C-alpha cells in the first residue's frame, strides 16, 4: 500500500498550527485553531481510507479492490457538517462576547477568584468564639478592641447585634445586592 506523504505532512502541519492557536487566549484564534484541528482530523480520516481508487459506483466488470473506500469520506462529510455548525455557533458566541465586554479574550471567572481568595476557614465551624464579658458595650467597638479570651485572636466575629441593626437598614422593598467586587488580574490590561 502506497502512502500519500503530502497528505500526512499537511495533516501534521495543520495539527501543529491548530494546537498552537488553540492555546491562545484570544477567542478568534481559538476558533481558527479548532477549525484547523477539525480539518487535520478530516485528512486523517481520508488517509485511513487507503490509497486512491475509482469512485465507488458499482460496476460488475470492475474488481472490488479497484474502488476507493467510501466510508471514510462519509465520515468526513458528517464531520464537516458538524464542525460547520459548531463554528457558526462559536462565531456568534464570540460576537456576543465582544458586544458584552468589548474584549476578544476569554473572561475571568469572578466567582472562582472570589472562592480562591476567601478565608481558609468557615467562620461558623472554625472561628474561636468571642467571649462576651459584658452585655453592654463591646458590641459597638471595633473588632480589634473587643474583649476576648487572652491569647486568642478573634477571627471575623459574627456579631448578632450588628447583623440585627444592618438588617433594619435594608428596606424590604429595596434589595441590597452586594456582589463581591473582585478585580480581575488580567482584565485591566486592555
Partner 1 sequence: MNVASLAPLAVVLPFLGAAWAFVLIRHPRAQRRVSLGTLTVTLALEVWVLARVWQSGPIAVELGGWAPPFGIVMVADQFSSLLLVVSSAVSLAVLAYATGQGAADGEESGPVSVFHPTYLILVAGVSNAFLAGDLFNLYVGFEILLTASYVLMTLGGTGSRIRAGITYVVVSVVSSLLFLIAIAMIYGATGTVNLADLAIKLGELDPGTQHLLHVLLLVAFGIKAAVFPLSFWLPDSYPTAPAPVTAVFAGLLTKVGVYAIVRTETLLFPTDHFNSVLLVVALLTMLVGILGAIAQTDIKRMLSFTLVSHIGYMIFGVALSSVIGLAATIFYVIHHITIQTSLFMVTGLVERRGGNSSIMRLGGLAKLSPILAVLYFIPAMNLAGIPPFSGFLGKLGLLQAGVADGSPLAYAVVVGGVVASLLTLLVVARVWNRVFWRSAADAEDPDAVLLSTAPDASGKESMRALRSSKHVDATEGRFSGENEVPILPKMMVYSTMGLVVLGVAMTVFAGPLFDLSQDAATSMLERTAYIEAVLGLGAGNP
Q: Does residue 78 belong to the site contacting partner 1 (CB under 8 A)?
A: yes
474502488: which residue's cell?
67
Q: Does residue 32 belong to the site contacting partner 1 (CB under 8 A)?
A: no
Among 65, 176, 189, 190, binds partner 1 (CB under 8 A): 176
x/- track of binding to partner 1 for residues 96-135 (CB under 8 A): xx--xx----xx-x-xx--x--x---xxxx----------
Alpha carbon distance 81, 87 (integer Å): 10
**Grid coordinates belonging to 45:** 480520516
Among 10, 17, 32, 47, binds partner 1 (CB under 8 A): 47
**Grid coordinates belonging to 139:** 458590641
**Grid coordinates belonging to 116:** 480562591
CA-closest candidate to residue 9, choices 65, 47, 58, 38:
47
Strands (E), 70-175: none
Q: State the nearest-atom distance from the C-beta of 25 to partner 1, in Å.
A: 11
Among 178, 181, 188, 190, binds partner 1 (CB under 8 A): 178
Residue 148: CA count within 13 A, CB half-sphere: 17
Among 4, 28, 73, 79, binds partner 1 (CB under 8 A): 79
Packing angle of the helix pair 27-48, 5-22 (nearest 10 deg): 160
Q: Does residue 181 belong to the site contacting partner 1 (CB under 8 A)?
A: no
Measured in Å, how far apart are the chain's first and last C-alpha atoms?
Answer: 54
Report how far Cα 180 is from the mean position of its chain's Cα atoms.
20
Q: Does residue 145 belong to the site contacting partner 1 (CB under 8 A)?
A: no
Count of positions on this chain that bind partner 1 (CB under 8 A)? 52
What residues line the site for partner 1 (CB under 8 A)? Answer: 22, 27, 30, 34, 37-38, 41, 44-45, 47-48, 71-72, 75, 78-79, 82-83, 85-86, 89-90, 93-94, 96-97, 100-101, 106-107, 109, 111-112, 115, 118, 122-125, 158, 160, 163-164, 167, 170, 172-178
Amino acid at each position: 500500500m502506497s502512502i500519500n506523504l503530502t497528505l500526512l505532512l499537511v495533516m501534521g502541519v495543520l495539527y501543529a498550527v491548530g494546537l498552537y492557536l488553540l492555546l491562545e487566549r484570544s477567542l478568534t484564534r481559538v476558533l481558527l485553531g479548532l477549525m484547523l484541528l477539525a480539518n487535520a482530523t478530516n485528512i486523517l480520516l481520508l488517509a485511513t481510507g487507503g490509497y486512491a481508487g475509482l469512485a465507488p459506483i458499482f460496476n460488475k466488470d470492475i474488481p472490488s479492490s479497484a474502488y476507493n473506500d467510501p466510508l471514510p469520506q462519509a465520515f468526513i462529510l458528517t464531520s464537516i457538517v458538524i464542525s460547520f455548525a459548531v463554528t457558526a455557533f462559536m462565531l456568534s458566541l464570540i460576537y456576543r462576547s465582544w458586544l458584552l465586554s468589548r474584549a476578544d479574550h476569554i473572561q475571568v471567572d469572578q466567582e472562582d477568584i472570589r472562592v480562591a481568595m476567601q478565608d481558609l476557614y468557615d467562620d461558623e465551624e472554625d472561628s474561636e468564639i468571642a467571649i462576651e464579658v459584658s452585655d453592654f458595650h463591646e458590641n459597638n467597638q471595633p473588632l480589634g478592641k473587643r474583649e476576648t479570651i487572652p491569647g486568642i485572636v478573634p477571627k471575623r466575629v459574627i456579631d448578632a447585634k450588628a447583623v440585627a441593626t444592618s438588617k433594619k437598614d435594608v428596606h424590604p422593598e429595596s434589595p441590597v445586592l452586594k456582589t463581591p467586587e473582585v478585580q480581575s488580574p488580567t482584565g485591566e490590561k486592555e
